[in-house]
Amino acid sequence: MKKDIQIPEVKDVYVAVVQEQHLEYKTLDWNAYIINNTEKDLETVLIVSQGYNTNKMTPPMRHTIAKLPAKSYAKIEYLQEKVLALNNTFKVTFFEGNKMFDKTYTFRKNTINPKALQKLPLMQLQGVLVK
């Protein structure tokens, strides 16, 4: 039965972490975003994020986006500096039409840093991207 379930491959949907100026507190904060670089809307986007290493694990954070339009992006969450030293996973599940898609994006420990910045699709910003 399980072998009959087919989950299609996720293409052109990414998770990125961007360092942004917080206007009120005048700090540089790291924020995670989901990017939909497809031509179709994503519906019922469920995201579970968690940081971990061999000794520590953060509580899972759950996020829902009812609809993420084609060629758009949305903020997922703020990342504290402490969790950048951990592996950070973002498990993303969504529907495109009546098909369910699922993918886990992992930022390895210490890979979210200013030296790893690159141009991001759609956002006109620099960030750390996982495809």
Q: What is the pLDDT of residue 15?
A: 98
Q: What is the pLDDT of residue 2?
A: 66
* Rounded average pLDDT over 108-128: 95
Report CA-CA distances (Å) from 47 to 24, 74, 124, 126: 27, 12, 23, 22
Q: What is the pLDDT of residue 26?
A: 86
User: pLDDT for 41-88, tens place per residue?
Assistant: 999 999 999 999 999 999 999 999 999 999 999 999 999 999 999 999
Confidence at residue 6, expressed as pLDDT on a 0 to 100 scale? 75
**Confidence tier at 4 by pLDDT (50, 70, 90):** confident
**Per-chain mean pLDDT for the chain:** 94
Q: Whole-model pTM above 0.85?
A: yes
Confidence at residue 116, expressed as pLDDT on a 0 to 100 scale: 95
Asked if residue 89 lies in contact with residue 50, where contact means CB atoms within 8 angstroms, the answer is: yes
CA gap 47, 50 in Å, rounded = 10
CA angle 48, 22, 78 (to 5 degrees): 10
Handedness of CA 19, 74, 52, 61 (dihedral sign): positive
DSSP labels, 43-107: EEEEEEEEEE-SS-BPPPEEEEEEEE-TTEEEEEEEE-GGGGGSEEEEEEEEEETTEEEEEEEEE
